[in-house]
Amino acid sequence: MRALFLGSFAANQAAGITRHLEAALEVEIHADERGPAAAAALEMAEIVVSGAWTRHYPPAPRLKLLQVPLAGIDQIDLAALPKGVAVCNAYGHEPAIGEFAILAMLAWRHRLFEVAGSFRAGSWEWSPLAGGRRRGELGGSTVGIVGLGRIGVEVAWRAAAFGCRVLAANRTPRERPPSVERLYALADLDAMLKESDIVVLSCALTPQTKGLIDASRLAAMKRDAYLINLARGPVADEDALYRALADGVIGGAALDTWWRYPNAQEPQPRPSRHPFHELANVLMTPHCSPWTEGTVARRSRDIARNLDRFAHGEPVANLVIET
């Protein structure tokens, strides 16, 4: 059975995954998904590991399993896949993102970058020895989580452990975990936003959640509220969020997901058409919250097990859809 690691993202993870394989798969790795060698490999592969699939890809007549080495499948054009293909995704990133959310909360409450930058510049303005400014604390804050899936649950129990009151809103009904004080329907999101000191976006990007955090919802938040976007950039309205941050409608934001990403034509783009980088109340990171050694290790093992399951004729895990 032939397995193809296709595209640069999958190719970079191939070594970590293949070292855990038990099945005797013939493995090919092609970082360039549109080259002639990749086209020849696609014609023979029963398994493809790839983070993207478009209608421009060469035919894959034998393909039966598309293993996406990510949780999101928004880069997969399902209509372009052959019929009868099982599409599976991968997780293992939840602990990393949960920790990242707490990191952003602590940095905001304790004004970490302001304190460190000020002192590096020679000022003692934050020191009690100079009658310094006081910082906040995370404990006692109300954290509202939008999307109580795998990531939201990880954020919730960590925030509760820091002494936060945790609220959550979810698209579909689910059991309320002990770390969450109250669970709202998404239709009641505004009520949750009004109570939250910190709002964490951890929901999937769907037609229902695109632009979910718009101008009216930003206006409903507290003036000193802090928004952390770990979901997808378009869950927040780009224009409205920039304006709210620039005008002080909310206190600040930590943004790890964006509206623009690198591509072949623009390998180093600004992540938005607005100059978020000029706003002092914004912490910007390049969609790196999931990317830790632990995430890679967990995913590598899980993907290898799934390829083994498929090769042995067993039911696959994390099946998203079968075309």
Pairing of strands 86-88, 319-322: antiparallel
Helix (H) or strand (E) holding 28: strand 26-30
Q: What is d(CA 87, CA 320) in angstroms, rounded to the nearest whole number?
A: 6
Tell me, yes or no, if the pTM score tops 0.85: yes
CB contact burial 197-233 (16+ within 10 A = b; e otherwise): bbbbbbbbbeeebebbbeeebbebbbeebbbbbbbbb
85, 64 Cβ separation under 8 angstroms: yes
What are the beta bridge partners of residue 67?
49, 88
Separation between Cα atoms, residue 237 and residue 119, nearest integer Å: 35
Residue 34's pLDDT is what?
Answer: 80
Residue 193's nearest CA partner among 214, 171, 208, 163 is 214
Element at 94 (helix H, strand E): helix 94-109
CA distance 266 to 77: 22
Q: φ and ψ at 49, to 5 degrees? A: -105, 115
Q: At what angle do helices 94-109 and 112-120 cross, to 10 degrees?
A: 60
Average model confidence (pLDDT) for the chain? Answer: 96
Q: Where are the beta strands (DSSP E) in 160-293?
A: 165-170, 182-185, 198-201, 226-229, 252-255, 282-284
- List pLDDT tens digits, range 196-238: 999 999 999 999 999 999 999 999 999 999 999 999 999 999 9
Instruction: Say if CB 42 and CB 65 are below 8 A apart.
Output: no
DSSP bridge pairs for 144 = 167, 199
The strands making up 142-146's β-sheet, listed across from edge to edge, are 182-185, 165-170, 142-146, 198-201, 226-229, 252-255, 282-284
Mean pLDDT per 10-residue run, the chain (323 residues)?
96 96 96 89 96 92 97 93 97 97 98 96 95 95 97 98 98 96 97 98 95 98 98 98 98 98 92 98 98 97 98 97 95
Is the sign of the CA dihedral 288, 291, 292, 293 positive or negative?
negative
pLDDT at 100: 98
pLDDT score for 263: 85
- Phi/psi at 258 (nearest 5 deg)? -135, 180
pLDDT at position 74, please?
87
CA distance 93 to 152: 12
167 within 8 A of 147, measured Cβ to Cβ: no
The answer to whether the beta carbons of residues 184 and 191 sit under 8 Å apart is yes
pLDDT digits (tens, 9 = 90+) for 236-257: 999 999 999 999 999 999 999 9
Residue-wise DSSP of 264-302: SS-SS--SSSS-GGG-TTEEE--S-TT-SHHHHHHHHHH
Instruction: Please provide the distance, in angstroms rounded to a whole number, between the alpha carbons at the two ends of the chain.
Output: 21
CA separation for the pair 80, 117 (Å, rounded):
50
Residues ≥6 apart with Cβ < 8 Å to 168: 144, 145, 146, 148, 152, 156, 176, 180, 182, 183, 184, 192
